[in-house]
Amino acid sequence: MGSKSDAVPLSQTALWAAQTQFYEKAGPEIFRTGTIPYQVTSNPAIAHAYAQLIAAWVRGLRAERAASAVPLTVLEIGPGPGRLAFLLLSALKRMLPECETLPGAFQYVCADVSAALLDGIRSHPANQEWVRSGILRVARVDASRPGEWAHADSVLASPGGALVVVANYLFDSLPQDAYHVSNGQLFDMLVRVDGDVSDHGVEPVSRWRLSFEQRTRRPRCYDDACLNEVLVRLAAAHDGALLFPVGGLECLRGLNDLAAGRPLMMLVADKGCTPGASMTQRPHLEYHGDECFSMAVNFEALERFWEATGGVLKRSAPSELLSFRVFHARLGEAATAAVDAVFAEHFERGAPDDWFLWSLRVGRDVHTYSLAEMMAALRLSRYDPAVLNDCYTMMFRLLPSAAEQDRISLRAILRRVREHYFFVGEHPDTAFVVGSLLYAMGDHVEALDCFQQSERLNGPLAATLFQQARCRYHLGDKTTALETLRACRAMPGDFEQFLVLAGILDAPRASEFEQQLAWEVALGEAAPSRTAQ
């Protein structure tokens, strides 16, 4: 245990260096294990809303310039496992198809401090078409050091065109300072850290003990006059606790500098806070696992800063989960009107996280849903694989009595869900789930293709091989089916129990299936087996 540190502003504590070190070493496993939340900002609903905004903005710029195309770079900072990038690229391909056909007209850059995460995005099977075409690129950058971004990758320093920045769950992880306002007087909320801060990782950050003390504000808090002005204005407008997102403000300035006069739009989704909260409130750090944390974001500070630089913004109404902001440089009437209309439709009348909140209810109450209601939920979610994962066990129970029209509709829905799937290590993966439902409806060719995709993603798991054997049996390839089944049966673990709990099998039957299949292969019979039904 190290000794207590000196009392310093929150942004100058060792917490932020420890967090950066964690993210530098992090790989996709932090998302597989659920350590870092990401589904709420990386689903088809939010990708669709963002794509609509970007497409409207680009069309507005074209109208202003009387140009058939405007070169576009989308820069996503902190892309996590890359699921939003995949979904957003897929949506933009539908809405701006010309971007793919014009050489050099469109680039999507995933920027992160973690080399492992960027390697995972670049090598992911779902991204290979975009990587080969040069549309999808990666850049290793530290979001807390915006002055270095232009040197991280040549695409970030390229002149011309337009720049869209996507920053979901970014500002809540950048350095912040804490203040307290009482009767118009501003106090620093200084922090002492009691923990082993000499070697980040010896003691998990979540176990560091923080103590706070108030001191009269320093005459001049920051070297940046604009930051000082924003702080003074906030203090004059509020009484109580005040978070000041100094890292986020520097990030905004860095992005404005990076645009270098190019048209710029920034899409932000994060958890907001209310300035001037309870007089006794201290800064709250929400820990994700042992080594990283996040803090609510004072969007009012970001907005005041952005407006002081001459920019404009759109804001969503307060939400249960996320606050959405669209920051952009001042545009002409056409582009502004286009953005305003789409924002009103997708962020004011119904925010993307509205659906996520409702989907949590789907997971809780799906046992009360009919097949038609589950299909409606999937359509409303814009074919979200996470919603299918909540529904598929009940679907198996209802499929035997389903009408043929419902089966036709479900097949179409499953194909759309599969198009939106971006694997991050789940088991069962969506390819396996879709394949199992298609098998239950008798679509053995397409089901086998799904199970082969599942094997490529998750390896030769016993349950996947068993499902492949069942498909091959119905397709008449009994010899391969028997080989696959025996390979499955030789694997350790009780895969039948997994299949029963998942609703795929109603009882253990692999042994009977193997005996029946071996007998049919030996006799060369073609009669269907009830045990494989």
In this structure, what token pair is assigned to residue 408?
A: 């036709």
In this structure, what token pair is assigned to residue 192?
A: 């002492």
In this structure, what token pair is assigned to residue 265?
A: 């739009």
Residues 6 or more apart from 390 whose CB is under 8 A from it? 359, 362, 363, 366
Dist CA 317 CA 95 (whole Å)? 26
Dist CA 359 CA 433 (whole Å)? 18
Domain 40-174+249-348: give its CATH superfamily.
Answer: Vaccinia Virus protein VP39 (3.40.50.150)
Confidence (pLDDT) at 317: 74
* Per-residue exposure over 459-471, b if at least 16 CB sit within 10 Å of its own CB, e if not: eebbbbbbbbbbb
Dist CA 328 CA 342 (whole Å)? 14
pTM reported for the whole predicted model:
0.90
Task: Parse the chain into domains and list their residue ranges.
Answer: 8-18+175-241, 40-174+249-348, 355-532
Confidence (pLDDT) at 129: 93
In this structure, what token pair is assigned to residue 33?
A: 């294990």
In this structure, what token pair is assigned to residue 498?
A: 């997994």
Q: 337 and 314 in contact (C-beta within 8 Å)? A: no
Q: 326 and 299 in contact (C-beta within 8 Å)? A: no
* Per-residue exposure over 152-179, b if at least 16 CB sit within 10 Å of its own CB, e if not: bbebbebeebbbbbbbbbbbbbbbbbbb
Confidence (pLDDT) at 533: 52
Confidence (pLDDT) at 389: 92
Domain 355-532: give its CATH superfamily.
Answer: Tetratricopeptide repeat domain (1.25.40.10)
CA nearest neighbour of 374 among 322, 410, 320: 410
Residues 6 or more apart from 373 whose CB is under 8 A from it? none
Largest CA distance in the chain: 93
CA nearest neighbour of 268 among 416, 168, 152: 168
Q: 109 and 73 in contact (C-beta within 8 Å)? A: yes
Q: What is the pLDDT along the chain (533 residues), one digit of tens a residue?
A: 345 568 899 999 999 999 999 998 888 888 887 778 788 889 999 999 999 999 999 888 888 877 767 888 999 999 999 999 999 999 998 898 866 656 678 889 999 999 999 999 999 999 999 999 889 999 999 998 887 777 766 667 665 688 999 999 999 999 999 998 888 888 888 998 876 555 444 688 888 888 888 888 766 678 888 899 999 999 888 888 899 999 999 999 888 888 888 889 999 999 888 776 654 567 889 998 888 899 999 999 999 998 887 777 888 876 667 888 888 887 788 888 888 999 988 888 877 777 777 877 888 899 999 999 999 999 999 999 999 999 999 999 999 999 999 999 999 999 999 999 999 988 899 999 999 999 999 999 999 999 999 999 999 999 999 999 999 999 999 999 999 999 999 998 889 999 998 889 988 888 889 888 898 888 875 455 545 55
Dist CA 238 CA 256 (whole Å)? 28
Dist CA 19 CA 201 (whole Å)? 10
> Which whole-number Å values give the CA distances from 438 to 96, 227, 311, 395, 531, in the listed order?
32, 58, 51, 11, 18
Confidence (pLDDT) at 277: 62
Our CA angle for 283, 284, 288, nearest 5°, is 145
Dist CA 119 CA 25 (whole Å)? 12
Cis peptide before 385 (omega within 30 of 0): no
Dist CA 423 CA 429 (whole Å)? 7
Dist CA 354 CA 352 (whole Å)? 5
Q: 197 and 2 in contact (C-beta within 8 Å)? A: yes
CA nearest neighbour of 58 among 105, 90, 127: 105
H or E stretch including 286?
strand 286-288
Confidence (pLDDT) at 495: 92
Of all residues in the chain, what percent are helix, strand and coil, respectively (each to 5)? Answer: 55, 15, 30
Dist CA 436 CA 504 (whole Å)? 7
Confidence (pLDDT) at 196: 54
Confidence (pLDDT) at 169: 92
Q: 174 and 245 in contact (C-beta within 8 Å)? A: yes
Q: 510 and 489 in contact (C-beta within 8 Å)? A: yes
> Which whole-number Å values give the CA distances from 31 to 204, 270, 349, 426, 502, in the listed order?
19, 18, 31, 10, 23
> Which whole-number Å values give the CA distances from 520 to 23, 475, 484, in the listed order?
55, 14, 15
Dist CA 508 CA 494 (whole Å)? 10
- If DSSP codes are grouped into helix, strand and coil, which group holds residue 327? strand
Sign of CA dihedral 489, 494, 500, 502: negative
Dist CA 477 CA 172 (whole Å)? 55
DSSP 8-state secondary structure symbol assigned to residue 205: G
H or E stretch including 50?
helix 44-65
Q: 385 and 430 in contact (C-beta within 8 Å)? A: yes
Our CA angle for 507, 464, 361, nearest 5°, is 75
Beta bridge partners of 211: 192
Q: 148 and 141 in contact (C-beta within 8 Å)? A: yes
Confidence (pLDDT) at 240: 87
Dist CA 72 CA 120 (whole Å)? 24
Q: 312 and 57 in contact (C-beta within 8 Å)? A: no
